[in-house]
Structure 1
Amino acid sequence: EDRYIAQEQDIELYISETQNISLPLNGVPENAGIRITVQLVSDPQHAINVLPKFMLISRALSLSLDFDPKTPGGLTMMHLSMVLTQGLQPKDVVLLLLPGFEVGNLSLAPSLFPSEEANFEATVLQGQGVTLTSLQSFASGERIHVRYHGPVQVIIPQSGILDSQHFPSVRVQTALGHVPWTVVENTSLVGSLVNASIHLSTTERSGILEVALRFGTLMPLSPADSIVIRFPPALQLTSDNLNFSSLPNKFEDPLQNLTE
């Protein structure tokens, strides 16, 4: 510094990105040993060590998100699980961003957990996701299974969840620090069908008929994958054995995966 600084005057120092300083992989935990050393020209023999107060920068580990039910375009409940390198206190906030999902307020939205069992209160995050406010304390490194309660409805994208484009992200905000946006890479995939139709060989009542199902898949099908067909109760099965036939398909283009 080339000018005089009076005592008790606040000093702000900025270190640019050009210095190539990066955060540790596990963030900046509490009591990380960060210190500032002040060397005075008037007294070069004595250095002043300052332990600064700083915002904790933590990390979210082992993130996973599951849905129940897994229906494209349908209302669902979420099962979020994570481990944080910092603790959570009541009123700390977990933000869950849900790209492509429909999120809204609904006074009668179903809750997976009753209020007395919930450990988070859920509210809508500007229609883009869900704000989860902690109702209890969690220790650093503790596995957190989110049990939320609140008037929030979440609808899975009509096209399903097939790749990282629709993977949610999590951010944690606390009084002491935060966890930056982290993608929930272990998100359950939800497949989807397109151009679905059904054709009956006869419309006569009580007649034996052939049922032709035609649909496309928005995801590739591999050997050993299964297709489950549930017939409505009105269609009575006269035998435990059904005869199936299908057209050969290579399933190279997901939009052309037509199966009968």
Structure 2
Amino acid sequence: MNNLYGKTVFITGATKGIGRSCALAYAEKGSNLILTARSGDLLDSLKEELIRKYGVKVYTLVIDVQNSADVENKVNSLPESFKNIDILINNAGLALGLDKAFLATPTDIDAVIDTNVKGMLYITSSIVPLMLKNNSGHIVNLGSIAGDAAYAGGAIYCASKAAVKSFSDGLRIDLVDTNLRVTNIKPGLVETEFSKVRFKGDIEKANNTYKGINALTPDDVANVVIYATGLPENVQLTEIAMTPNHQADGRTVHRNI
């Protein structure tokens, strides 16, 4: 049974990587989509592709999740037909640099915390009240195994993903007397533009992140998101950690080099 057909799914960071794969996977299931990102051109291109391939309804919002006023205004601007949101995918996130924490610039610190933590909070605070009107919904927060244990050079990013875990747990407690569900999905190494962003366009450094290991793909993660949100409503997967084979945790990786 396809429990996702006709559902309305809100995805942040929807134009690239895991977000894009989630958009395609939900569209294939017949879900309608609200897609957000900072690039209007990429959103328009993805919208056209999804409608052409799957015939689903797609609404796009150019949003900077770091800006609370922008988030609130854009969510409030949704047409009534798109305000019955069934699933929220908090996917927008990034890392910058791989230096010791005390060497990070304030600009990089703000970008990571404002996107990974505050952006998630702003979006959730805008969407959950809409879900509560129907006493139904599923919030998926894209965390990371980096939130379970820090690794060298990743203190700030790891702290942000630890916050995702704690927030997911706390939100689940806050919603325990409702029909809303909360799932924290925690991937390990996923080959996306994540490392390209982290190393600010240094392709060699980015490629070395995945050297010698068959990393997860964005589609791998999207398949798990689809599984978690497609289960019967009496089932709540609270947390899912996933890694590629040969990665044991955030710090232990065997590479065939």
Give the alignment's TM-score, normalised by structure 1.
0.28
Structure number having the greater strand percentage? 1
Give the structure with the larger helix fraction. Answer: 2
When Rg is computed on C-alpha atoms for both structures, the one with the higher figure is 1
TM-score (normalised: structure 2)? 0.28
